[in-house]
Amino acid sequence: MDMDKLGETGQDDAGQEPWRVWLRSVVGSHGGVTAVARLAEVPKQTLDNYLSGRTKKPNLDYLHRIAAACAVEMTWLKASADQAAEATVGLDEPEVIPYEGPSIAFQNRVPANRGRWTVKTRALDLAGILPGDVMEFEMGREPQVGQPVVAQVYDDEGSATTVLRLFYPPYLMVRSSDPGIDPRPLDLDPPELRVKVMGAFVRLWRLAGGDPAA
């Protein structure tokens, strides 16, 4: 099938991902697949796969190239960011902060690829993680499903709030008894837009009284 003629694909935009609907519109109004692929320096087969639905998740850099080459805005990206912003209500204060207390006796130095955080929230109290706990994470490593993670949630101005959640892709989840904590999941898809998971859980310290600096 000639994907340069979008009208012959028989596809309906209803129910499709916003980025794919946007892409079909751009390609259809800028000369077809071959012309847009050449203009944006994107592989034609990749563009065919995007339009046909064979590719489920696009390369964001390719979409940026297409938008720039065709002088159009990525309207679907703003809409996705607005939806994500609605899910971040109540995240103004950090839920974990970098640990700055005295060295923990049985491991004085923090390895270069790890970070320690003091819990300031009850977002995971039902998972057994309480305010005052010190958590260690291996930065940049993919967490396992169900593990606690530290993540940063970005707003439209690029400011970030640090949160503590459980990793259940494509979401980060709360397990809290505190009615003041927003229970809605944070969407990880696509991860480049709003939420950045910083690392995978390694260990937790809890001293008597719940204060690791005591």
How large is the average pLDDT for residues 48-74? Answer: 84
Q: What pLDDT sits at residue 101?
A: 65
In this structure, the strands spanning 160-168 and 96-98 are: unpaired
Average pLDDT, whole number, for the chain?
77
Containing 164, the helix (H) or strand (E) segment is strand 160-168
- How far is it, in rounded angstroms, from Cα 86 to Cα 185? 11
pTM of the model: 0.49
How large is the average pLDDT for residues 175-202? Answer: 82
How large is the average pLDDT for residues 122-134? Answer: 92
Q: What are the structural domain ranges in the chain?
A: 6-73, 96-210
CATH topology of domain 6-73: 434 Repressor (Amino-terminal Domain) (1.10.260)
How large is the average pLDDT for residues 42-53? Answer: 89
CA–centroid distance for 31 within its chain: 34
pLDDT tens track for 85-120: 444 444 556 776 766 666 555 455 667 778 888 899
> pLDDT-based confidence at 208, cuts 50/70/90?
low
> pLDDT-based confidence at 147, cuts 50/70/90?
very high
Strands (E), 39-159: 96-98, 114-119, 134-139, 148-154
The more confident residue out of 58 and 15 is 58
CATH topology of domain 96-210: Umud Fragment, subunit A (2.10.109)
